[in-house]
Structure 1
């Protein structure tokens, strides 16, 4: 796999890659849309279902904890974070969005393991619905592309 100078990846082949997915159940209808799209994209890219571990956690703040356990296991070439945080009337939105995002980034760097962050942070449910399928697909693509790149860079 080689990326071009314009940032466009050539045809990705995810066969043989092992991918872990952590999905928040809060806003389940939306996070399930993310998961379906991500799984379909991983399948399209050749990642075998037997090489995917998909777990769920209560909400976006719990996603990094499950990702950390997966990363520490050494069993995965890439991970995916799925969640949906919709702004409410309190500061809780900022807290959850900032802390879940920081946790995912920290794990990526600490474990040198690509983690596709598809935890949506949106103003309302309509925005989430408009983005969920595309962001789920993007997460699958990013996981495969980055896993292949890191293998190439080793």
Structure 2
């Protein structure tokens, strides 16, 4: 990331960089973990002040918003990044879960004034075969990087707004 970042003002009042929570679903952990690894790598490569990252794992995507809300309300985190894979099991439930999770994450962000980023992917067609698993594993790397970049850019932008 080539963007220059000024010193972040953090919620914890620390002179170090922002504290960021990653909340990821353990469902399809082997695929979702690619996003969390990419997020860590991207944040650590950035020219932002040293970051403090905490990772929380929950059973599935549906459990992420409550954890995000508690983390945001704690005042200890400057941003939260959510990671999950919500797949179509053939009964259309995934559409309701995906909508509920994304809507709730937006509500957490707006209600707590803590930025929340989503690497919650909801492919229409996912099949448990090697080709799809490999494709989505790689796609989560890309989405993890994008979420990390969006996080840093948003924190920087919000810092400028506060100045």
Shorter-chain TM-score: which interval? 0.7 to 0.9
Of stretches 132-141 and 15-24 in structure 1, the one that deviates more from structure 2 is: 15-24
Q: Give, in whole Å, the separation in 1 of the partners of 2:116 and 2:64.
A: 11
- TM-score norm. by structure 1 comes to 0.86
Stretches of structure 1 that go unaligned for 5 or more consecutive residues are: 1-8
Q: Contact conserved, 2:32 with 2:137, CA < 8 A, in 1? A: no
Stretches of structure 2 that go unaligned for 5 or more consecutive residues are: 9-15
Q: Larger Rg: 1 or 2?
A: 2
Q: Give, in whole Å, the separation in 2 of the partners of 1:17 and 1:56.
A: 20
Q: Contact conserved, 2:80 with 2:115, CA < 8 A, in 1? A: yes
Q: Contact conserved, 1:78 with 1:144, CA < 8 A, in 2? A: no
1:91 Cα deviation from its structure 2 partner = 2.0
Q: Displaced runs of 4+ in structure 1, greater than 6 A?
A: none
Aligned residues: 146
Check if 1:145 corresponds to 2:145: no
- TM-score norm. by structure 2 comes to 0.82
Q: Give, in whole Å, the separation in 2 of the partners of 1:85 and 1:47.
A: 33
Q: Contact conserved, 1:120 with 1:128, CA < 8 A, in 2? A: no
Q: Deviations over 1:79-127 (max 9, x none)?
A: 1011111212012111111101111011111111111111011121525
1:47 Cα deviation from its structure 2 partner = 5.5
* SS of the residue 2:43 aligns to: helix
CA RMSD of aligned residues (A): 2.0
2:13 alignment partner in structure 1: none
1:10 alignment partner in structure 2: 3
Q: Contact conserved, 1:18 with 1:47, CA < 8 A, in 2? A: no
Q: Give, in whole Å, the separation in 1 of the partners of 2:37 and 2:103.
A: 25
1:5 alignment partner in structure 2: none
- After TM superposition, the structure 1 = structure 2 runs for residues 98-117 of structure 1, keeping only pairs within 5 Å, are 98-117=99-118
